[in-house]
Amino acid sequence: MADPDFAVRVAAFQFLESARAANGEVLPRTLLEAGFDLQGDRVPLVGPQGIFKPRVCRLPLSITTVAGGPYLDTFSADGLILYKYRGMDRLHRDNEGMRDAMRRRAPLAYFHGHVKGRYHAIWPVFIVGDSPESLTFTVAADDVAARPVRESEVAYEDPAIRRAYVTATVSRRLHQAAFRERVLDAYRESCALCRLRHRELLDASHIAPDTDPLGEPVVSNGLALCKLHHAAFDRYILTVDPDYRIRVRRDILEEIDGPMLKHGIQELDGQPIRTPSRAIHKPARNLLALRLERFLAS
């Protein structure tokens, strides 16, 4: 069966591509609510409910998971998204709309809330399963941006294989983005070292690397750092000690290399960092101590 909303979906995905180029994968809700103009009609991409069908569409255009919301959407053992029904009524019109989208193989956009007002945008996604017993739909991603370009696409000729692989990759991206959003939110969107407040120039740096057994993706294992200080932190040019003071490597302090080095790194030595207001979010002192040992050894 043909998708009656094909033109709307194409326009929506083009809008999201432009938004991702300008803002990254995590988009503000205000942008999604405002949507785009299509032949004189405003087409928002999200609404009050998680399963959203704008006025110009016959089928749902997007599904949304809200951070801290009432629906506990999860991932299955094979990495596919398990998306909860609207309410308990299996025959609710929103749930019926999802089944129709599944029958017609209509692509949707998926917005995953990491923190209040900010959503990771994944598209296209497809409804590939319906479980009335658990009140969930199974959702698979087919986002080309989620997988590397390969010389041979033979392994992905089967849509089911491709979507299972891509959705598992999307799951990892969502967790990585969630860590960044939570850390930047805790640090009030500013670099802990230099106070720079431009979000697009900020990263969430792991104190204990994510490859380390202690490197859990929790805020207390993170620091909000600008691009410069993130690179310097990762390369042990500087670190933060358990007393939350910046330590710059001795040979760097003795180097003469212009105003950027002097003002951007050398003058930070001994200065306190800015920490989150909530105690649970402050950098873990034991992880900073381990980091300091590696810094001194370097």
pLDDT digits (tens, 9 = 90+) for 120-150: 998 888 998 999 999 999 998 876 554 443 4
What is d(CA 111, CA 215) in angstroms, rounded to the nearest whole number?
A: 27
Residues whose CB is less than 8 angstroms from the CB of residue 108 and which lie 6 or more positions away in sequence, other chains included: 9, 60, 61, 62, 63, 101, 123, 124, 125, 126, 127
Residues whose CB is less than 8 angstroms from the CB of residue 194 and which lie 6 or more positions away in sequence, other chains included: 226, 228, 229, 264, 268
Residues 160 and 195 in one domain: no
Is residue 115 domain-resident? Answer: yes
Is residue 138 domain-resident? Answer: yes
Residues 216 and 290 in one domain: yes
> How many other C-beta atoms are found inside a 10 Å radius of the C-beta of residue 71?
16
Beta bridge partners of 130: 137
Tokens of 177: 């983005």
Residues whose CB is less than 8 angstroms from the CB of residue 74 and which lie 6 or more positions away in sequence, other chains included: 81, 82
Q: In terms of residue numbers, what domain contains 166?
A: 6-182
**CA geometry: angle at 174 spanning 218 and 210, to 5°?**
40
Is residue 148 domain-resident? Answer: yes
Residues 137 and 263 in one domain: no
The predicted structure's pLDDT at residue 143: 61
Cα–Cα nearest to 15, from 61, 83, 65, 63? 61
Residues 140 and 17 in one domain: yes
Decide which of 165, 182, 199 is a domain's last residue. Answer: 182
Cα–Cα nearest to 62, from 29, 98, 86, 28? 98
Is residue 1 domain-resident? Answer: no
Q: Which of 91-95, 122-126, 169-173, 254-258 has the highest mean pLDDT?
A: 91-95
Residues 116 and 227 in one domain: no
pLDDT at 95 over 90: yes
pLDDT at 151 over 60: no
Q: Assess contact for 122 and 114: CB atoms under 8 A.
A: no
The predicted structure's pLDDT at residue 149: 39
Residues 163 and 198 in one domain: no
Decide which of 134, 151, 182 is a domain's last residue. Answer: 182
Residues 211 and 175 in one domain: no
What is d(CA 191, CA 229) in angstroms, rounded to the nearest whole number?
A: 8
In the chain, how many domains are there?
A: 2
Is residue 80 domain-resident? Answer: yes
Is residue 46 domain-resident? Answer: yes
- Give the predicted TM-score (pTM) of the model: 0.69
Confidence of residue 17 (pLDDT cuts 50, 70, 90): very high
The predicted structure's pLDDT at residue 147: 44
Residues 170 and 23 in one domain: yes
pLDDT digits (tens, 9 = 90+) for 164-206: 666 666 766 777 888 898 999 999 999 999 999 998 899 999 9
- 157: domain CATH number is 2.30.280
Mean pLDDT of the chain: 87
pLDDT at 11 over 60: yes
The predicted structure's pLDDT at residue 162: 58
Residues 171 and 205 in one domain: no
- Percentage, residues of the chain above pLDDT 70: 86
Q: Assess contact for 31 and 19: CB atoms under 8 A.
A: yes
Beta bridge partners of 172: none
Confidence of residue 4 (pLDDT cuts 50, 70, 90): confident
The predicted structure's pLDDT at residue 74: 72
pLDDT at 14 over 50: yes
The predicted structure's pLDDT at residue 154: 41
Residues 133 and 270 in one domain: no
Decide which of 130, 150, 182 is a domain's last residue. Answer: 182
The predicted structure's pLDDT at residue 282: 97
> What SS3 class is residue 232?
helix
pLDDT at 232 over 60: yes
pLDDT digits (tens, 9 = 90+) for 22-77: 888 889 999 999 999 999 999 999 999 899 999 999 999 999 988 765 555 577 66
Residues 148 and 40 in one domain: yes
pLDDT digits (tens, 9 = 90+) for 204-224: 999 998 888 877 889 999 999
Residues 162 and 286 in one domain: no
pLDDT at 97 over 60: yes
